[in-house]
Amino acid sequence: MNMNRDPECEDPLLEVLLRDETWQRASAALKEDALGRLRARRRARRLIHWTAGMAGLLLVLGCGLYWFGYGPVPAAPPAKAAGALAKSESTRFLSDAELLASFPQGTCFLAEINGRKELIFLDRSDEQNYLDRQ
C-alpha cells in the first residue's frame, strides 16, 4: 500500500481549476486556434498569389507596349551624325566667313585636318553650348 501523500492531488485550487475546465472547452479552444492559423496562412497565400499575378500582368503589359512601339524614346543621334544629316538635307551651304560670323569673335576657327575643314572651338564649354542649342 502506498503511504506517500501527493500534495498536488489534494490542492483545492487545482481541484477547482480542473473541475471548471472540461474536455469540450479545451477541444473547442484548440480547434479555434488551429482554424485561426489556417485562415492566416490562406490569407498570406492569397496575397502572394495576387501579388505575383499583378506583377506578371504588368510585365506582359510592359512587353506589349514596348513591342507595339510605345517603348522608351530613342536617344538623339550624336552631334556629328545630326550635323551630317542637316548638311545632306539642306541645299544651302555656308561659306567659311559666314560660318565663323555665326559665332562670337575669337571662340572658334577653321582648321584643315586630313584634307577636311573642321570647326575647332577654343573653349570646350562654348562647343557644348552650341551643341545644346541644336
Q: Is 120 within 8 Å of 110 (Cβ atoms)?
A: yes
- Residue the block writes with cell 485561426: 36
Single pTM value for the model = 0.35
Q: Which amino acid is at 134?
A: Q
The upper half-sphere exposure of residue 103, i.e. CA atoms within 13 Å in the direction of its Cβ, equals: 21
Domain boundaries, the chain: 12-67, 79-133
Q: Is 87 within 8 Å of 103 (Cβ atoms)?
A: no
What SS3 class is residue 64?
helix
Question: Residue 110 has what pLDDT?
Answer: 85
CA–CA gap between residue 62 and residue 68 (Å, rounded): 10
Question: Residue 46 has what pLDDT?
Answer: 97
The C-alpha cell that represents 123 in the structure block:
573653349
Residue 112 pairs with which residues in a beta bridge?
117
Question: Residue 36 has what pLDDT?
Answer: 94
Cα three-residue angle 52-57-58, rounded to 5 degrees: 100
User: Which pLDDT tens digits describe the chain residue by residue (134 residues)?
Assistant: 566 666 555 676 666 666 656 667 777 888 999 999 999 999 999 999 999 999 999 999 988 888 887 656 666 655 555 555 555 555 677 788 888 888 888 888 888 888 888 888 888 887 787 777 76
Length of the chain: 134
